[in-house]
Chains A and B, each alone.
Chain A
Amino acid sequence: MSKLRADAILKAVARGRGGVQVAHNKRTADNEIVRMPIPATVVLPMQQHIGAPCKPLVKAGDHVDVGQVIGDTDQFLSVPIHASVSGTVKSVADITLANGRIAPAVTIESDGLQTLHESVVPPVVHTKEDLVKAIRASGLVGLGGAGFPSFVKLTVKDDKPIDTLIVNAAECEPYITVDYRECIENSWDIMTSVYTLGELYGFKHIIIAVEDNKPEAIRILKSIADKDIHTGNVVRVMALKSRYPQGAEKMMVLSATGRKVPQGKLPADVGCIVMNVASVAFVARYLKTGKPLTSRSVTVSGDCIKNPANVRVHIGTSMQEIIDFCGGFTEPPAKILSGGPMMGAAIVDTHVPLLKSNNAVLAFSEKALAKKPASDCIRCGRCHAACPMGLIPTQIEKYAVLGDAETLSTLGTSVCMECGSCAYSCPAGKPLVQYMRLAKEVMRQAGVK
């Protein structure tokens, strides 16, 4: 293990730093997660994950119970959607999501009873295959923000042996504190999960990676992990330098193991599974109770929110209701984000449902908006220095505008994960992430990989 880590440090140093130092603004770090009352209605879109959308399995007028599957599909890359409240299906219709996309959604009127569906029973898990099946049935997606179906990550192919599980508790995005609270309040769930997964998969290393700006989380996790519950304990808590985007999957693999995920490959290609800490904690609870993913924690913060908080919310609750639960706005907001300030999306309307993958609702006033009028690039190289992927965003911008897909490909455009470090550090205020997306679109249209 010590060798593994020394190796990691050496390689990270050799590669150069990349990333940016952003103001943490973790104002809700000391706020215990509070449960929000059952909402009167929930709206459950049929796509809350990366992959194929689900087909609604209920119709208006049906009675549903908590945990009942209301949407599913035969497609591989997808997970079922469950009712988060018990009550009556009011409608199955298209709605506009936070990102402006239109998708079918099931609206349920709650009866306030929260009766559990008969299918909610603890799954029987003896093998990896059982677990993968159970995790798919649980509807779990990465709770860190991307929303990638978790069962896919846990599916191990024979030609890609996995030796390391990385529990991602970096939480490098400013403001968001739900993963931190998870580490403190549900540390036993995390450990139970980690040992269960360890037994099923036989990992050689299990690394719980936390940024070093969360000493309390590190202390608590260490106090549990270091107890030698099992002989040959492979679980280690690792404090990583707090530098955005430390929690990005490829950065995480590099920092924790010293391995580099090649372009176009996944952590599994270098023997790693990376899972968000909240997802890991959920696995333990699910294996114990069989209750699928029907609620999640979100950080509600920003200078416009009266009482910033970490809230446990039923999936499908309207964002406006969540904001109201936190005391509403102190002044009219100028920008509302679903997710963190670095990678989150600005939303047009708060009357949209909270999805499985939403980890934060942030509201900012006019004066808190980061405004920097765009001027010409002075080639200062800050974008290149900040890019954790070693790209030169300003060059990519130029070729994206020119529509030169071949050159964009040689510049490595496809490894960009849109972390926003370039645009954050640009003194000319260029919307570089937008240009990176344009570059990818240029490549997509030209059929260049």
Chain B
Amino acid sequence: MEENKKLVVSASPHAKSSATVRGIMLDVIIALIPAAFAGVTVFGLRAALVMAVCIGCCLLCEFLARKVMKRSNTLGDLSAVVTGLLLAFNLPVKTPLWICAIGSFVAIVVVKQFFGGIGHNFANPAITARIVLLVSFASALTNFTAPTVGGADAVSTATPLASLSKITLAGGVGTQLSDLIAEGQIPALLKMFLGVRPGCIGETCALALLLGAAYLLIRGVIKITIPAAYLLTFTCFMLIASGFDLTYTAYELLSGGLLLGAFFMATDYTTSPINTAGKVVFGVGCGVLTAVIRLYCSLPEGVSYSILLMNIACPLIEKLTAPKYFGFIKKKKEKKAGDAA
């Protein structure tokens, strides 16, 4: 009797899986490491500095914001590290550090903590911060440098995506893709795949991003649904728009932040639908918007905007694609008939 006095009583289940929020975030960080390495390799050590500043500022903002709001300290869940890293990945290597700090503040304080912290933000913090910075400091955020890999100087240059937008598509008269490649305005496809091209720190190396994505898929952290729907829709759109020009479509897939966005930003739990049908709609929406922005708008890049727009539409998508539960019986329409009568 004596030894039974301190029995724990709690609701079932009494077994729990080993999954934790911290573990999930750690997996995302691990998945981002190849791209971080690629970023430093391609753009030099300053890339590491930008990442460190973003992560540091995000952690500081998270800590201070929770403190000021008299809420529990949530640094331990590592979500601020993920946000910081993703924000850095979305910035050009020459971004002034004070702009990085402002971006971190926007991401953590304005987008995340003002709405209640982890799990409560309606938009992806890193993406929203990038857009805020892009609108506020347009020149700094579009000051892309050529890769410094192999000891080259960090000279300012246009991104392949900006060059691609000058092309006349589908057999029209004007600049052709082959001309740009021949002139060296656009790197060869292999270089694009390896990330040796101008762009933001973490978005260029497709190989590293795909490695990270594979890790997340194997670990079950993300499901393939959103990236697959996103990339397939985008590919179809681009194939049709370019008159089934495979090379052009490949360039589009490897340019800008598409892979980073599709695998690491669009799959953000909090701002994407929970149910499979919702995920498909979300991914298709992202794909269509990205393609439309890239092809028909004055902006060269559309990944951030399309994900942000779909983030906002997420609750609506979830509502409209509500899954049918087991044994669901369609309600008879008697009520409506009754109302009419």
Chain A interface residues (CB < 8 Å from chain B): 15-16, 20, 22-23, 174, 250, 260-265, 329, 332-337, 341-351, 364, 369-372, 375-382, 384, 388-392, 394-395, 411-412, 415, 418, 420-421, 423-429, 431, 433-434, 437
Write out the residue numbers on chain A whose beta carbons fall within 8 Å of the beta carbon of B274: 379, 381, 384, 392, 394-395
Complex CA–CA separation, A262 to B8 (angstroms): 37
- Cβ–Cβ contact A265 & B119, under 8 A: no
Known: A388-B326, A390-B323, A390-B325. A346 touches B10 (CB 8 A): yes
CB pairs A–B below 8 angstroms (13 shown): A250-B327, A263-B325, A263-B326, A263-B328, A264-B327, A264-B329, A342-B14, A343-B13, A347-B9, A375-B77, A391-B325, A415-B327, A423-B13
Surface stretch bound by A, among B17-25, B128-136, B286-294 = B17-25
- Minimum Cβ distance to chain A for residue B14 (Å): 4
A434: nearest chain-B partner, CB-CB: B11
**Given A347-B9, A426-B19, 7 additional A-B pairs, CB 8 A:** A263-B327, A264-B329, A369-B14, A370-B14, A420-B13, A424-B16, A427-B20
Give the nearest-CB partner of B8 in chain A.
A335
Partner of A429, one of B1, B16, B119: B16
CB neighbours of B119 from chain A (8 A)? 376-379, 428
Q: Judge whether A260 and B117 touch: CB under 8 Å.
A: no
Cβ distance B159 to chain A, nearest Cβ, rounded Å: 33
- Chain B neighbourhood of A343, CB < 8 A: 12-13
| Interface membership of B324, Cβ < 8 A | yes
Whether B326 pairs with A418 at a CB distance below 8 angstroms is no
Considering the complex, which residues of chain B in the window 95-154 have a beta carbon less than 8 Å from any beta carbon of chain A?
A: 116-120
Whether the pair A378, B269 counts as a contact (CB closer than 8 A) is yes
B275 in complex: contacting residue of A335, A388, A392, A433, CB < 8 Å? A392
CA distance A433 to B12 in the complex (A): 7
Residue B3 CB within 8 A of the other chain = yes
- Spell out B's residues near A (CB within 8 Å): 1, 3-4, 6-17, 19-21, 23-24, 74, 77, 79, 116-120, 269-270, 274-276, 322-329
Please tell me if the beta carbons of A329 and B3 are within 8 angstroms of each other in the complex.
yes
Report B-chain residues with C-beta under 8 Å of the C-beta of A351. Answer: 1
Which label, helix, strand, loop or mixed, suits the secondary structure of the A interface?
Answer: loop
- CB–CB B323/A332 < 8 A: no
A residues in contact with B323, CB < 8 Å? 384, 390, 392
> Is there an interface contact between B327 and A349, defined as CB atoms closer than 8 Å?
no
B13 touches A342 (CB 8 A): yes
A380 to B12, CA, bound (A): 21
The answer for the CA separation of A376 and B24 in the assembled complex, in Å, is: 14
Q: Tell me whether A333 and B327 are in contact in the complex, defined as CB-CB below 8 angstroms, given that A379-B270, A427-B23 are known contacts.
A: no
Q: What residues on A are CB-neighbors of B328 within 8 Å?
A: 262-263, 412
A218 to B325, CA, bound (A): 32
B15 A370 Cβ-Cβ under 8 A: yes
Given contacts A377-B119, A379-B270, A384-B275, contact A334 B7 (CB under 8 A): yes
A412 to B327 alpha-carbon distance, docked (Å): 9
- Please, which residue of chain B has its CB at the minimum distance from the CB of A421? B13
Query: Do A346 and B8 form a contact, CB below 8 Å, given A265-B327, A378-B269, A379-B270?
Result: yes
Q: Name the residue among A344, A348, A427 with the largest chain B CB count within 10 angstroms.
A: A427
**Chain A proximity of B216: nearest CB distance (Å):** 12
Asked if residues B15 and A342 are in contact (CB atoms below 8 Å), the reply is yes
Residues from chain B with a CB closer than 8 A to the CB of A332 are 3, 6
Bound-state CA distance A394–B274 (Å) is 10
Provide the residues of chain A in CB contact with B9, threshold 8 Å: 335, 346-348
- Measured between beta carbons, the chain B residues less than 8 angstroms from A250 are 326-327
Residues in B whose Cβ lies below 8 Å from that of A420: 12-13, 15
B15 to A263, Cβ gap below 8 A?
no
A424 in contact with B17 (CB, 8 Å): yes
Q: Which residues of B contact A389 (CB under 8 A)?
A: 325-327
> Which of B12, B77, B119 has most chain A Cβ within 10 Å?
B12
Tell which of A265, A350, A371, A390 touches B4, judged by Cβ atoms closer than 8 Å: A350
CB distance from A424 to the nearest CB of B (A): 5
- In the bound assembly, the distance between CA atoms of A347 and B10 in angstroms comes to 9
A428 touches B21 (CB 8 A): yes
The reply to whether B10 and A333 contact each other, CB–CB distance below 8 Å, is no
Given the complex of chains A and B, what is the CA–CA distance between A341 and B14 in angstroms?
5
- Of all chain B residues, the one with the shortest Cβ separation from A436 is B11
A372 to B10, CA, bound (A): 13
Residues of B within 8 A of A372 (CB): 16, 20
Contacts of B6 in A (CB 8 A): 332, 334
A17 to B11, alpha carbons, bound, how many Å?
A: 25
Given A377-B119, A380-B269, A384-B275, check contact A423 B16 (CB 8 Å). yes
Q: A333-B4, A424-B13, A431-B11 are in contact. Are A378 and B270 (CB under 8 A)?
A: yes
